[in-house]
Structure 1
């Protein structure tokens, strides 16, 4: 994937993308693919895990940066989530070409069309780097895109916690 974008990136951007991909692999292995019990209570099991969202949309605009697309595509692929590119207007040629070279679906749709599409898929995620539309403000992750995968992977997962009581009348099951 990185090679597909390398002709359009400066050496510094290419290096940043490689670092983001390595960082993403690390966080996938250490955090996002593991169930863990952060509370570690003996009388209760609280398994915390991440589940991939049912598709993700990256909302781009005329001022969007190729690195926004590149890092988002890498993170979505690491998470195993299909990424769709959405824009209210025609994408700049470099972004459209990059999306096409990555095999990403691109849609030109208004805010209301995007909102309707997302409403039909309540477990889908929306990522809008920069200032979000007022119509979509409550549905999206709108922080700037960074190379820090611990933050960039979050829009592609839902958090889930499963709790189980391990005691009966105050006695932990191991003791029963």
Structure 2
């Protein structure tokens, strides 16, 4: 039996840097033996099937293949469909009542303790808010991520030291959960 996974590539196809065409990413995933490959948008999201495996090992394999193919390193996270569905289901904000541009999820390579963000005073960023989840951070930014002071503060390298972190808007979060739903073909 295979498992559905999503690969989340960090920082590709942004501002003309680290260009990874999605057709080429599908080829790379296929060459690695991943099945039922599809991509979503141009921002480094792919879904695929694979025998149950360690997510970090799959991510490392994909990172190495991308570096061989394109000549630069790209951090990748791999998450299975059950986890991605749980991220949607566990959202602490009223997602159905918000515009997708107002809600984002940052996926982390490992669990993050609340103490990491203790220096951020919520009152300094209101009405923006964040909440931690399982290897994820939910960000409510009423004016969108591009204008978010809290989003900028959360992206500081010091707060993310030792982590791979990549952010997706709510539409993409939901779509990745759909693309990787257990039992769903590619």
For normalisation by structure 2, the TM-score amounts to 0.27
Q: Which of structures 1 and 2 has the bigger CA Rg?
A: 1
Name the structure, 1 or 2, with higher relative contact order (CA <8 Å, separation 6+).
1
